[in-house]
Amino acid sequence: MKNFNLILIVFLLILILSMSIWVLKFNNRIKRNLLNILTINSNDYLESLVNMANKKSFRLENILDLIKLKFNKVYKKYDKLCEDNYVLERTIDILEYGVLILDSKNRIYYVNDELGKLFNILSLKEIHNKLLKETNLRWLLEFSNDTIFEIPEEYSFINISCYIKKINNNFTVYTFKNITEQKKIDNMSAEFISNITHELKTPLTSIIGFADTLKEVEDENDRQIFYDIISKEAIRLNNLISDILIFSEIQTQNDITKQKIDIMQLLYSVKQLLTPQISNNININIIGDRIKILSCEKYIMQIFLNIIDNSIKHSFGENIDIICKEDSKNVCIKFSDDGIGIPKNEIENIFKRFYKIPTSKTKFRGTGLGLSIVYGAVKKISGNLEVFNNEDKGVTFKVNIPKNKVE
pLDDT in tens, the chain (407 residues): 544 444 544 444 454 545 445 444 444 444 444 344 444 444 455 555 555 555 544 555 565 666 667 667 776 776 677 766 666 666 666 667 888 888 888 777 778 778 777 776 665 554 444 455 545 556 666 665 555 556 555 555 667 777 888 888 788 888 888 887 777 777 777 777 777 777 778 778 888 888 888 888 888 888 888 888 888 888 888 888 888 888 888 887 777 888 899 999 999 999 888 887 777 678 888 998 888 888 999 999 999 999 998 888 877 667 889 999 988 788 999 998 887 777 777 777 777 877 776 555 555 566 778 888 899 999 999 999 998 888 777 888 999 999 875 55
Model pLDDT, residue 53:
52
Model pLDDT, residue 266:
92
Model pLDDT, residue 333:
92
Model pLDDT, residue 34:
39
Strand partners, 320: 284, 337
Model pLDDT, residue 156:
54
Model pLDDT, residue 196:
74
CATH no. of 185-252: 1.10.287.130
Model pLDDT, residue 195:
73
Model pLDDT, residue 317:
65
The residues near 61 (Cβ < 8 Å, ≥ 6 apart) are: none
Q: Where are the domains of the chain?
A: 2-90, 95-178, 185-252, 259-402
Q: How many CA atoms lie within 13 A of 20 on its CB side?
A: 26
The burial class, CB within 10 Å (0-12 / 13-18 / 19+), for 86 is: exposed
Q: How far apart are CA 132 and CA 138, in angstroms?
A: 4
Model pLDDT, residue 15:
47
Domain 95-178 has CATH 3.40.470.10: no
What are the helix and strand counts (H, E) for the chain? 12, 12
Domain 259-402 belongs to what topology?
Heat Shock Protein 90 (3.30.565)
Same CATH fold, 185-252 and 95-178? no
Backbone angles phi, psi at 177, to 5 degrees: -135, 135
